[in-house]
Amino acid sequence: MSIWENFIDDIADPAGKLAKTELKGLIRDYRKDASGFLRRQGRKMQRYITQLARGEITPAEFRQYMEDIRDLTEMEKVRMSVAGKARAQRLVEGITELVINGLVKAI
Amino acid sequence: MSTAIRVHFSWLAATLLAACQLLAVSHYDPTTYRNLTETKPVVAQFYESLVGDGVDETELKRIRLKLAQIYEYENGKGADNADIVQQIEVIRRMFERHMSERANGPWTRAHMENERENMLEAFDIAIATEALKNRRN
């Protein structure tokens, strides 16, 4: 098993509040996702946990990165929404220009 | 053309117009694109300086001012530009969170590289969002 997976498994959690298997599965799924954005976040999460395990970053810094990923995801959601709206707007403009102002006037 | 066909296309035009209003997104703005692409490397360079002992307060103020100017410019464009405004708000929030944390002391190289990567990714997403509106893309 890799460093980041061992680190998650070794976290002391007597109350059993941490869903370790689900957490590892989530990171693995992100890394294989079709979305380039989610794959990047999955790779970063894996790297952060590895850095935390090696003592290269502090838990407070790790928490900061998770807030960054949350913010980046919010921005990506906006980008995806604009992408959809821009495509739809181009379709509407195309129909108006080519069909209504072009074809309809010609027939 | 028969009246029926004209009525049909008038209805189609009205529907498309309504759809346009629902899907409103501001037009591509080269000033927005330039503001974001010019500010990104300035922020990157500033982050690299944060591994040192002090913080260049003049540069910090300049970046805060630039981000505030970008926000005001975007916000002034109106409701159709709400998407980019939201993204600029997130960039400013991330930047201020990083600076609050930096007030505790110099960053290690690993931490700086992680924070810089995330900050630049935020700029990249906003730049990509604006670029989506460019018809040539």
Question: Per-residue pLDDT tens for A63-78?
Answer: 999 999 999 999 999 9
pLDDT digits (tens, 9 = 90+) for A78-95: 999 988 888 777 777 777
Whole-number pLDDT of residue B137 = 54
Question: Shortest CA distance to A11 belongs to which of A52, A51, A46?
Answer: A52
More confident call, A32 vs B83 = B83
Q: Do B111 and A61 touch (CB under 8 A)?
A: yes
Does the global pTM surpass 0.90?
no
Nearest residue on chain A to B118, judged by CA atoms? A68
Q: What's the mean per-residue pLDDT of chain A? A: 85
Segments forming the whole domain that contains residue B29: 25-132
- When CB atoms are compared, the residue of A44, A60, A82 closest to B25 is A82
Top pLDDT among B76 and A22 is at: B76
Q: Is pLDDT at A104 greater than 80 in this prediction? A: no
- Residue B12, domain member (yes or no): no
Structure confidence at residue A22 as a pLDDT band (50, 70, 90): confident
Report CA-CA distances (Å) from B9 to A57, A75, A104, B14.
63, 38, 8, 8
Q: Is the ipTM of this complex over 0.90?
A: no
What does chain A look like in DSSP terms, one character per residue? --HHHHHHHHS--TT--S-HHHHHHHHHHHHT-SSHHHHHHHHHHHHHHHHHHTTSS-HHHHHHHHHHHHHHHHHHHHHHHHHHHHHHHHHHHHIIIIIIIIIHHH-
Give B36-86 pLDDT, tens digit per residue: 999 999 999 999 999 988 999 999 999 999 999 999 999 999 988 999 999
Mean pLDDT on A31-38? 84
Residue B15 belongs to some domain of the structure: no
Partner residue facing A104 (CB), from B9, B108, B117: B9
Domain assignment present for B9 = no
Number of domains into which chain B is organized? 1
For residue A8, what are its two tokens? 């998650």
Question: B56 and chain A: CB distance < 8 Å anywhere?
Answer: no
Q: What is the mean pLDDT of chain B?
A: 89
Q: Is residue B93 part of a domain?
A: yes
Is B14 domain-assigned? no
Q: At residue B1, does pLDDT exceed 60?
A: no
Q: Is residue B10 part of a domain?
A: no
